[in-house]
Structure 1
Amino acid sequence: MHSLLAYIPIAAMMVILPGADTMLVMKNTLRYGAKAGRYNILGLATGLSFWTVIAILGLSVVIAKSVFLFTTIKYLGAAYLIYLGIKSFFAKSMFSIDDMQSQATTTGNSPKRYYKTSFMQGSLSNILNPKTVLVYVTIMPQFINLKGNINQQLIILASILTLL
C-alpha cells in the first residue's frame, strides 16, 4: 500500500461530496436530533462494513460483472430512495427551525424508535447503493499492492473510508 497517502484525499472527497447519505443524515438530525443523526451515521458505517465483507469474499467483483445482480441492486436502491422521499414528503408535520427549537425545549430527547429507524435507514441506504459496489471494485483496487496481503489492505482502505 505504497499509495495510501494518495488514497486518503480521494476517500475524503468521496465523503465530502453531498449525496443521498448526506441528505439522510441531515434529515434525521434536523427532524429527530443529533443522537438520531449519530445512529444514522452508525448505520452508514454498518453498510460500508457489509460491502467490505462482500469485497473480502470476492463477491463485489461478481456483483459488478453480473448485469442482473448489479441492476437489481441499482433498482432496489433507487426504489428505497424514492420510498424515503415520498415518506418524507407526506409526513404529518413539516418543520421549521422555530418549531424544532420549541419542540426541543418541550420534549427533550427523541423517542428511541427514531434511533432504530435512523440506523436502519443508514444501513439500507449504503447496502442498496450501487455506487458503493463501484468504489470497492474500481477505486480501491487502484491502491492495493498485489504483492501484499490483499484482504488486509482492503480492510485498511475500507476502514479509512468508513472512519471518514
Structure 2
Amino acid sequence: MPPTDRLLTFLLASFVLIVIPGPSVLFTIGRALSSGRRGGLLSVAGNATGVFVQVLAVAVGVGALVQRSTELYTAIKFVGAGYLIYLGVQAFRHRHALSTAIAAPAKGLARPRRMYVDAVLVGVANPKTIVFFTVALPQFTDRSAGHVPLQLMFLGAAFTAIALACDSVWAVAAGSAREWLARSPRRLAAIGGTGGVAIVGLGVTVAVSGRAN
C-alpha cells in the first residue's frame, strides 16, 4: 500500500479529475437522458469496468517498467503532462458540450447488455484516464517498498470506486431532472470551463512535481 500522505493526495487528485465532465460523463448523461436511470447506471458500471481494464494494463506493463527505469518514468511523465494540458484546453473550448448533450432528443432504448458493453468500450478508450493512469499513478507509489504493480492496482481500484460514486450521481441527476438541467445551459458551460482549467492545472502539477523514489 502507498504511504498515507501520497494516498490522500492521490484520492484528492482523482476526485478532481473524475468530477470534471469528460467522455465518460458525457456518455453517461446521454444514456441517462435517453434511457433513464437504469441506462445511466448501467453505463456507469460498464465505464468503471473499462477503466479498471486500463488499471490492470498499467499495473502490469508500466508499473514494471517504472520500477526499473527512472528515465522512462520522467519521459512518460512529461509527455503525459503535456497531453493533460491539451485535454484541459480542449475541455475549455468545448465547454458547451454538456448543454448540447442535455438538449439532444431522446433515442430508443437499447438492450441492457448492449448499453453495458458500449460503456465498457468508452471506459477503455477514455484518453483522460489513460494519461492519468500512465503518468500520475507511478508518482504516488513507493518504489523502495517494492511491489509497484500491486500498489498501482490498489490506487486504480480506489480511483474506480470514486468514479463509480461520482458518475452514479451524474446518471441519477440526468435521468431524474432532464428539464431542470435543460434550463441551466450557462451553469453546465461553467462546469465544463472550470473543468478544463482544472485539467490544465493538473497537467502542470504533474510536470513540475513528483519523481520516482
Corresponding letter in the other structure for 2:148 = I
Q: CA deviation at 1:153?
A: 1.0
Tell me which residue corresponds to 1:6.
9
TM-score normalised by structure 1 residue count = 0.66
Map 1:66-85 onto structure 2 (within 5 A): none
Report if aligned partners of 1:32, 1:114 keep a CA contact under 8 Å in 2.
no
Tell me which residue corresponds to 1:58.
61
Corresponding letter in the other structure for 2:48 = A
Question: After TM superposition, what 4+ stretches of structure 1 lie above 6 angstroms from structure 2?
Answer: none
Q: CA deviation at 1:59?
A: 5.4
Map 1:58-137 onto structure 2 (within 5 A): 58=61, 94-95=105-106, 113-137=110-134
1:6-27 residue CA offsets vs partner (Å, 9 max, x unmatched):
1111000011000111111111
1:105-132 residue CA offsets vs partner (Å, 9 max, x unmatched):
xxxxx96x43223212211112122332
Tell me which residue corresponds to 1:17.
20
2-side partners of 1:119 and 1:38: how far apart? 9
Tell me which residue corresponds to 1:154.
152
Percent sequence identity over matched residues? 20
Q: Provide the aligned C-alpha RMSD in A.
A: 3.1
- The number of residues matched between the two structures is 126
Distance 1:142 1:59, change over 3 A: closer
Residue ranges of structure 2 left out of the alignment (5+ in a row)? 66-71, 77-100, 163-213
1-side partners of 2:141 and 2:33: how far apart? 39
Residue ranges of structure 1 left out of the alignment (5+ in a row)? 66-88, 101-109
Report if aligned partners of 1:36, 1:114 keep a CA contact under 8 Å in 2.
no
